[in-house]
């Protein structure tokens, strides 16, 4: 009986010492700004990668002697401020819209406002007022 008690006590000492050797877990809250910044960076980087994957952009990069794959890798290595600056530049580029469609829409709007009597741009219209 005494040997069984000693065996149990020694086992318990061993287990408690083993439990004390484990490192405690440290948890901290992640701020909303950090999460938003990470998601924002991913969204901006994905937007730039989509722009680089377009056929016309890839052809232009190749014509300028830049490998499109290497350009994509370099985008991933940009800092947050450089990435935001590049995304802003892409947003400010002209979209290459249809010039005749835009002019046609402006003509129709001016024609309607002339007919309604709000403006007098075209001499061939008579105001309804």
Instruction: Say if residues 58 and 20 touch (Cβ distance below 8 Å).
Output: no
Q: Report the chain's mean pLDDT, rounded to a whole number.
A: 77
Instruction: Say if residues 114 and 120 touch (Cβ distance below 8 Å).
Output: yes
Q: Is residue 118 pLDDT above 70, yes or no? A: yes
Report residue 48 CA to chain centroid gap: 8
pTM of the shown model: 0.46
Segment 33-89, tens digit of pLDDT: 877 777 788 888 888 888 888 887 788 778 877 788 888 887 787 788 888 888 887
The packing angle between helices 55-63 and 32-53, to 10°, is: 70
List of long-range contacts for 114-121, beta carbons under 8 Å, 24+ apart: none
Greatest mean pLDDT range, 10-19, 100-109, 111-120 = 10-19
Higher pLDDT residue, 72 or 127?
72
Could you tell me which residues come within 8 angstroms of residue 51 by beta carbon, excluding any fewer than 6 positions away? 57, 90
- Sorted by where each begins, the domain ranges of the chain are 31-93, 98-129
């Amino acid at each position: 009986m005494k040997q069984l008690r000693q065996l149990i006590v020694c086992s318990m000492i061993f287990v408690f010492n083993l439990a004390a050797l484990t490192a405690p877990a440290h948890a901290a809250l992640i701020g909303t700004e950090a999460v938003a910044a990470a998601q924002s960076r991913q969204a901006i980087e994905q937007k730039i990668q989509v722009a680089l994957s377009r056929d016309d952009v890839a052809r232009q990069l190749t014509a300028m002697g830049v490998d499109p794959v290497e350009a994509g890798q370099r985008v991933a290595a940009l800092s947050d401020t450089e990435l935001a600056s590049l995304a802003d530049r892409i947003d400010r580029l002209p979209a290459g819209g249809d010039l005749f469609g835009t002019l046609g829409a402006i003509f129709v709007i001016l024609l309607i406002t002339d007919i309604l009597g709000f403006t007098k741009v075209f001499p061939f219209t008579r105001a309804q007022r």
